[in-house]
Amino acid sequence: MANVTLRNVRKTYPGGFEAIKGVNVDVGDGQFCVLVGPSGCGKSTLLRMVAGLETVTGGEIDIGGRIVNQIEPADRDIAMVFQNYALYPHMSVFNNMAYGLRNRGMKEAEVKSRVDEAARVLELTSMLERKPRQLSGGQRQRVAMGRAIVRQPKVFLFDEPLSNLDAKLRIAMRVEIRKLQRRLNTTSIYVTHDQLEAMTLADVLVVMNGGQVEQVGNPLAIYEKPATTFVASFIGAPPMNLMSIRADEIKSQLGSTNAGILGIRPEDFVITDQTPAGGVTLPLTVEAIERVGAETFVYGTRAQDEQRIAANPGELPPGEVIVRIPGSEAPPIGEKIRVAATRQKLHLFSGDGRTRIEA
């Protein structure tokens, strides 16, 4: 069991590209840490640096009180589950799981008992003699998990392990991974671009963008109080509505002077003509309706909208607002409606989107 601490970790490639620009993260013993961010944000690179598959060009990586920057992957006492599973195609399931143990000179009886135990937990017992090519995607994924757990390492590293599975299996495996991690109580770092996976798995959520950490914390805390507009639009689906606000609006309605961007989550709107005290209302023209059964998404255009903030990934096109309402009742397309949100549900950010303003 071990803590993992990243201190001002940097990665600059020989060409001069800076992939990781000084990351500080502290993962406590037994915690499940999820690195989430869009493609190319450096989350996989960071994980590979922890694994020892990429060199560290600055800062320190500390696993269980030991600086591992110069230590070989094999000696870091970590296990990794790869996106493509990286099973040894020429070895049986049993040998795939036993490989790491045999390399470390473990007695064959002990190897067998550990592999059998892992196979039992992962329901692979009947497949131990098969080759990876004879397994389904979900089974291969479980073998990859088994290969990690037989070693009983200090840290599990997961590099988008579920992204090659279909949607249904992905949800099932997500729950399995969480249960397994809880039971083994092994410190884990998990990389994903799927914010839902991140929200449901994490004890500690690290939102990354452009090689930097945007926000670290409990997933719900991040959802409720996103630190930047990037986090606000990345965490939560559909994304938070972000709109620039004029100085007079801020003064009159919100009582804040330096906020430049207003954020409201789609689920925090209600369709009403009344302006709640201290809250906001928006006049909308309904453009499209998406009914998914339990809830309905209303896509509207703001009637009076002159200026917009710079676009972030995941942000709505200028002028468009998403409203999420329960049930399947919805106003007809083309109708002019008013939506309102209370003061407590408003998120205020500085004009550049880099700072959250608590009013």
Residues forming the site for other proteins (CB under 8 A): 51-53, 72-74, 78-80, 82-84, 86-90, 99-100, 103-104, 133, 147, 151
Residue pair 238/306 in contact (Cβ under 8 Å)? The answer is no
Minimum CB distance to other proteins smaller for 153 or for 279: 153
Quote the least distance from Cβ 102 to other proteins, whole Å: 9
Tell me how crowded residue 187 is: count the other CB atoms within 10 A of its CB: 26
Minimum CB distance to other proteins smaller for 104 or for 120: 104
Tell me how crowded residue 48 is: count the other CB atoms within 10 A of its CB: 18
Gap between the terminal Cα atoms of the chain: 42
CA distance 253 to 279: 7
Tell me how crowded residue 208 is: count the other CB atoms within 10 A of its CB: 25
Minimum CB distance to other proteins smaller for 151 or for 347: 151
The first and second tokens of residue 151, run together, are 């070693």
Residue pair 202/220 in contact (Cβ under 8 Å)? The answer is no
Quote the least distance from Cβ 88 to other proteins, whole Å: 6
Minimum CB distance to other proteins smaller for 51 or for 259: 51
Return the amino acid letter for 321.
V
CA-nearest of 261, 357, 356 to 310 is 261
- Identify any residues that bridge with 286 across adjacent strands, giving them in sequence order: 300
Quote the least distance from Cβ 333 to other proteins, whole Å: 41
Quote the least distance from Cβ 2 to other proteins, whole Å: 16
Quote the least distance from Cβ 44 to other proteins, whole Å: 11
Minimum CB distance to other proteins smaller for 47 or for 243: 47
Quote the least distance from Cβ 112 to other proteins, whole Å: 17
Minimum CB distance to other proteins smaller for 103 or for 252: 103
CA distance 52 to 22: 17
Minimum CB distance to other proteins smaller for 74 or for 220: 74
Residue pair 191/27 in contact (Cβ under 8 Å)? The answer is no
Quote the least distance from Cβ 118 to other proteins, whole Å: 14
- Identify any residues that bridge with 323 across adjacent strands, giving them in sequence order: 298
